[in-house]
Amino acid sequence: MARYAMVTDLRKCVACQACTVACSAEWAVPAGHARTHVRTTPLAGSFPNLTSSPVVGQCNQCDHPPCVEPCPSGATYQDAGGIVRVDTDVCIGCGFCVDACPYEARFINPRTKKVDKCDFCRPRIERGEVPACVATCTAHAKYFGDLEDRNSEVSRLVFRDGARRMETRTVAVGPNVFYLGRPEHLDLVLSSYPPRPPRLLTAGAAWTRLLKPLVLAMVGMTFAGQAVAFFTQLHKGEGDFEE
Amino acid sequence: MRSDAIPLAPVPLTADEAETMLQRQIKKHHVAIILLHWFNAATWILEVATGAALISSRLFRVAPDWYLAIVNGLFGTRGNLLRFHVALGLVWIGVFLVYGIFGFRTYLRGEVLKKEIALDRDDVRWLVVRALRILGRSDEALPLQGVYNAGQKLFSMVVYAMLPVVMVTGVIMAFRLFSPWVVGWAVVLHFGAVGAVVAGLVIHVYMGAVFPEEKPAFFSMFTGSVNELFAYNHHFKWWREMKTEQLAWDRQREPAAEIARPETPAGGEGDAQEPST
């Protein structure tokens, strides 16, 4: 089974935004939103030894995606290739998954009012193509392939060249987007845009912690009461109840 | 029956009286209400069944894996399942809107609701005694009840309070109205409101379909009427009201009858001495 991964070589990235544009064009992403974004870290160090790095971010198709469980309707799921996908037929746009994502890679599409995000261009992969951002990258800084295939380029970049995952000790969800770069740049990227711990919106928390136990208790109690009544009825016999 | 013959509290009936009352039917529900009740019941079964299967996240769901597998299998895709749930929900809301608009004066006026929902002192006492009796802890006679007993009134309260919540939150989710924040809370409130009704439904269905004392009430949801003996024994206040109304009606008719045949002496019952109102 394939395990799709992407590697971005930040040493080659020139932050030209071609990937963002290609992605938005491919998936008709409304203006003001993006499935992939390019940012630049703040300057680090002291003059004249200043440094910064571009960062290309998107859905990391995590091994343990924190966005799946908070999705009440099961619209967000992980497919057989490890890609985290959204069944827009089932998405109700509650935004629970948006808040759960440590990489802020999800958004509510204002046109469809449903969640939208990168899925490694799943339809393109199925046609045997690479994702739009990879195909477009002017500096050839992006690589895409199957991590399970030891002969693939991504496999080589990850297992031999040491491409890194942007995860911290507190947020380690197994992202499958890897980065190559000078260690100080990768550290700078991680410290500038660290993944934030997954969280559940107040509405979701109220549901799990308060409403679900309450509803189960209410239904359980009425059911138990009714069961007692039924056994009393059996015990007494129906004749006693007749008019 | 004469006005002074209408007792203030149930009196022991002779076998003949009981038999006569058992044979006489009193109208309790309009055809519109019967149809709405069964349409509502069918809708709730389907909506609760599909709704439970739609909540698939381990965090929130109430149904086990095998149940989700069966329902999803029946609908083919989860998209179809959601479409069915939403479409049926909208039809349900549409039917209730028609009922609410055209039946408002008949079914939803303040005084009607007060009669059918508001609890009085007897009702509160009834709830306690009914529960104790079911549990076999009391033989105390049940306090007198109106057209609906306190249990039915309590369930109506839950239903009247929760139905608007279920409908509004359902529409918000179906069309993803306002902001994701609102949709998020709508899902939660939808679940809670449905949960409250389902908790009540457990008792409602048991009392209606399984509990022997309420059998005539169950059949009245098909025929529209209950026998007078059931009304007398279980809804005495209502029975008394009906009798009083009937008497008032009879009295209104009697003077007319007298005018039609002024020379005819009244039969030994002394009807002619009835004061005209």
Query: What is the secondary structure of B70-139 as a DSSP string?
Result: HHHHHHSSHHHHHHHHHHHHHHHHHHHHHHHHHSIIIIISHHHHHHHT---HHHHHHHHHHHHHHTT---
The pLDDT profile of chain A, 243 residues, written as one tens digit per residue, is 789 999 999 999 999 999 999 999 999 999 999 999 999 999 988 888 898 999 999 999 999 999 999 999 999 999 998 999 999 999 999 999 999 999 999 999 999 999 999 999 999 999 999 999 999 999 999 999 999 999 999 999 999 998 999 999 999 899 999 999 999 899 999 999 999 998 988 888 899 999 999 999 999 988 888 888 788 777 777 654 444
Of A30, A171, A206, A49, which is closest to residue B187 (Cα–Cα)? Answer: A206
d(CA A70, CA B61): 11
Q: Minimal Cα–Cα distance from B106 to chain A, Å?
A: 32
Burial of B88 (0-12, 13-18, 19+ CB in 10 A): middle
The alpha-carbon radius of gyration of chain B (Å, integer) is 24
Nearest to A211 among B18, B82, B192 (CB): B192
Question: Which residues of chain B have a CB within 8 Å of the CB of A73?
Answer: 54-57, 78, 82
Question: Which residues of chain A have a CB within 8 Å of the CB of B233?
Answer: 243
Is the peptide bond preceding residue A48 cis, with omega within 30 degrees of 0? yes
d(CA B93, CA B258): 53
Burial of B212 (0-12, 13-18, 19+ CB in 10 A): middle
Nearest to A72 among B57, B136, B200 (CB): B57
The pLDDT profile of chain B, 277 residues, written as one tens digit per residue, is 444 567 777 777 777 777 777 777 777 778 888 888 899 999 999 999 999 999 999 899 999 999 999 999 999 999 999 999 999 999 999 999 998 888 777 777 777 777 777 788 888 887 888 878 777 777 777 777 777 778 788 888 888 899 999 999 999 999 999 999 999 999 999 999 999 999 888 888 887 777 777 777 777 778 877 777 777 777 777 777 787 887 888 888 776 555 555 544 444 444 444 444 3
Q: What is the DSSP string of B190-241?
A: HHHHHHHHHHHHHHHHIIIII-GGGHHHHHHHHHSEEEHHHHHHH-HHHHHH
CB distance B60–A230 less than 8 Å? no
Average pLDDT, chain A: 90
Q: Which of A219, A231, A232 is most worth mutating to test chain B (most B CB atoms within 10 A of its CB)?
A: A219
CB distance A207–B22 less than 8 Å? no
Nearest to A216 among B62, B81, B185 (CB): B62
Q: Minimal Cα–Cα distance from B197 to chain A, Å?
A: 9
Cβ distance B12 to A233 under 8 Å? no
Q: Minimal Cα–Cα distance from B25 to chain A, Å?
A: 15
Which one-letter amino acid corresponds to residue B170?
A: G
3 state DSSP class of A82: coil
Look at the block and give the residue holding tokens 């000078």.
A182
CB distance A92–B176 less than 8 Å? yes
Nearest to B184 among A114, A204, A226 (CB): A204
Question: Which residues of chain A have a CB within 8 Å of the CB of B54?
Answer: 72-74, 90
How do beta strands A177-180 and A164-165 pair? antiparallel
Nearest CA in chain B to A71: B57
Cα distances (angstroms) measured from residue A225 to each of A45, A217, B31, B137, B223? 70, 12, 32, 14, 29
Nearest to B185 among A89, A203, A219 (CB): A203
* A216-222 contacts at long range (C-beta below 8 A, 24 or more positions apart): A216/B62, A218/B195, A218/B196, A218/B199, A219/B195, A219/B198, A219/B199, A219/B202, A221/B199, A222/B199, A222/B200, A222/B202, A222/B203
Q: Minimal Cα–Cα distance from B196 to chain A, Å?
A: 7
Please report the pLDDT score of residue B232 as a whole number. 75
CB distance A89–B82 less than 8 Å? yes
What is the ipTM score, two decimals? 0.86
Q: Minimal Cα–Cα distance from B82 to chain A, Å?
A: 6
DSSP A37: E
